[in-house]
Structure 1
Amino acid sequence: MNYHFEPSANAAVLHTDCVIVGVYRHGKLSAAAAQLDAASGGALQNHLDIGDFSGDKNRTSLLYNLPGVTSKRVLLVGMGEKDKLTLEALAQITQSAVNALKSGKVGNAISFLTDEIASEYLQSAVRQTVTAVADALYTFDAYKSKKDDAAKPMLEGWIIAHTIAGDFSAAVTQGFAIAEGMQVSRDLANSPGNVCTPTYLAEIAQELANSCNKVDINILEETDMDALGMGSFLSVSKGSEQDGKLVILQYHGGNAGDAPFVLVGKGITFDTGGISLKPGNAMDEMKFDMTGAASVIGTLTACVAMQLPLNVVGVIAAAENMPSSRASKPGDIVTSMSGKTIEILNTDAEGRLVLCDALTYVERFNPTAVVDIATLTGACITALGHHTSGLLSNNDALAEEVLAAGKQACDEAWRLPMGEKYQDQLKSNFADMANIGGPPAGTITAACFLSRFTESYPWAHLDIAGTAWKGGAAKGSTGRPVPLLCQILINRANQHG
Structure 2
Amino acid sequence: MDFEIVNGDVASCETECLVVGIEADGQLSPSAQALDTAAQGYISDIVGGGDIQGKTAETLLLQKVPGVSARRVLLVGLGASDERNDRNYRKIVKSAMGAIKGVRTESAVFSLDGLGSNDDDQYRQLRHLIEWAGAELYIYDETKSKKADPLALNKLAILLSEDDTELGEYALLDGVALINGISTARDLGNLPGNICTPTYLAEQAIALAAEHEALETTILDEDEMRQLGMHSLLSVGNGSDQPSKLIVMHYKGGSEEDKNHVLVGKGITFDTGGISLKPGASMDEMKFDMCGAASVFGAMTALCEMNLELNVVGIVAAAENMPSGRATKPGDIVTTMSGQTVEILNTDAEGRLVLCDALTYAERFEPETVVDVATLTGACIVALGHQATGLLSNDDTLANDLLEAGNQAADKAWRLPLWDEYQEQLDSNFADIANIGGPPAGTITAACFLSRFTKSYRWAHLDIAGVAWNSKGKEKGATGRCVPLLTQHLMNLAAED
TM-score range, shorter chain: over 0.9
Question: Is 1:41 the equivalent of 2:36?
Answer: no
Counterpart in the other structure of 2:465: 465
Counterpart in the other structure of 2:487: 486
CA distance in 1, matches of 2:257, 2:102: 51
Say if 1:90 and 1:114, in contact at 8 Å, map to a contact too: no
Partner SS for 1:224: helix
1:57–1:164 distance in 2 versus 1, CA, 3 Å: farther
| Residue type of the alignment partner of 1:389 | T
Question: Is 1:76 the equivalent of 2:75?
Answer: yes
Q: What displacement does 1:443 show?
A: 0.4
| Residue type of the alignment partner of 2:247 | V
Query: What's the CA shift string for 1:21-60, capped at 9, x where partnerless?
Result: 1111111121211211121111111110111210111110
Counterpart in the other structure of 2:375: 375
Question: Is 1:405 the equivalent of 2:409?
Answer: no
Q: What displacement does 1:114 show?
A: 5.8
Partner SS for 1:274: coil
Counterpart in the other structure of 1:263: 263
Say if 1:265 and 1:374, in contact at 8 Å, map to a contact too: yes
Query: What's the CA shift string for 1:140-187, capped at 9, x where partnerless?
Result: 0111111242xx431111111235731220110010011001111111
Q: What displacement does 1:83 show?
A: 2.2
CA distance in 2, matches of 1:125, 1:493: 21
Q: What displacement does 1:286 show?
A: 0.1
Say if 1:131 and 1:175, in contact at 8 Å, map to a contact too: yes
Query: What's the CA shift string for 1:200-235, capped at 9, x where partnerless?
Result: 000000000111121111111111111111111011
Counterpart in the other structure of 1:342: 342
Say if 2:82 and 2:118, in contact at 8 Å, map to a contact too: no
Counterpart in the other structure of 1:153: 151
| Residue type of the alignment partner of 1:477 | A
1:68–1:300 distance in 2 versus 1, CA, 3 Å: same
Q: What displacement does 1:119 show?
A: 7.2
CA distance in 2, matches of 1:66, 1:397: 54
Counterpart in the other structure of 2:356: 356
Say if 1:263 and 1:373, in contact at 8 Å, map to a contact too: yes
> After TM superposition, which residue ranges in structure 1, 4 or more long, deviate above 3 angstroms?
117-120
CA distance in 2, matches of 1:398, 1:355: 19
Counterpart in the other structure of 1:212: 212
Say if 1:265 and 1:316, in contact at 8 Å, map to a contact too: yes
| Residue type of the alignment partner of 1:421 | E
Give the aligned CA root-mean-square deviation in angstroms.
1.2
Q: What displacement does 1:495 show?
A: 1.6
Say if 2:426 and 2:434, in contact at 8 Å, map to a contact too: yes
CA distance in 2, matches of 1:136, 1:436: 39
Matches within 5 A, 1:53-202: 53-113=52-112, 115-116=114-115, 117=117, 120-149=120-149, 152-163=150-161, 165-166=163-164, 167=166, 168-202=168-202
CA distance in 2, matches of 1:40, 1:148: 38
Partner SS for 2:79: coil
CA distance in 1, matches of 2:134, 2:9: 25
Counterpart in the other structure of 1:51: 50
Say if 2:6 and 2:160, in contact at 8 Å, map to a contact too: yes
Question: Is 1:4 the equivalent of 2:16?
Answer: no
Query: What's the CA shift string for 1:48-101, capped at 9, x where partnerless?
Result: 011121011111000111121111210001111112212332222111101011
CA distance in 2, matches of 1:243, 1:429: 32
Counterpart in the other structure of 2:18: 19
CA distance in 1, matches of 2:421, 2:298: 36
Say if 2:237 and 2:320, in contact at 8 Å, map to a contact too: yes
Say if 2:402 and 2:489, in contact at 8 Å, map to a contact too: yes
Q: What displacement does 1:6 show?
A: 2.8
1:74–1:190 distance in 2 versus 1, CA, 3 Å: same
Counterpart in the other structure of 2:242: 242
CA distance in 1, matches of 2:141, 2:313: 31
Q: What displacement does 1:118 show?
A: 5.9
| Residue type of the alignment partner of 2:386 | H
Say if 2:81 and 2:118, in contact at 8 Å, map to a contact too: no
Partner SS for 2:186: helix
CA distance in 2, matches of 1:91, 1:483: 14
| Larger deviation, residues 383-392 vs 161-170 | 161-170
Structure 1 length normalisation: TM-score?
0.97
Partner SS for 2:180: helix
Structure 2 length normalisation: TM-score?
0.97
Query: What's the CA shift string for 1:380-422, capped at 9, x where partnerless?
Result: 0111111111111111111111011111111101111111111
Counterpart in the other structure of 2:395: 395
Partner SS for 2:131: helix
Query: What's the CA shift string for 1:240-268, capped at 9, x where partnerless?
Result: 11100000000011111211111000000
Say if 2:85 and 2:119, in contact at 8 Å, map to a contact too: no
Give the number of aligned pairs.
493
CA distance in 2, matches of 1:100, 1:441: 44
Counterpart in the other structure of 2:276: 276
Q: What displacement does 1:124 show?
A: 1.5
Say if 1:104 and 1:153, in contact at 8 Å, map to a contact too: no
1:171–1:148 distance in 2 versus 1, CA, 3 Å: closer
1:451–1:464 distance in 2 versus 1, CA, 3 Å: same
Query: What's the CA shift string for 1:430-475, capped at 9, x where partnerless?
Result: 1111000000000010001001111111111100001000012121
Say if 1:229 and 1:336, in contact at 8 Å, map to a contact too: yes
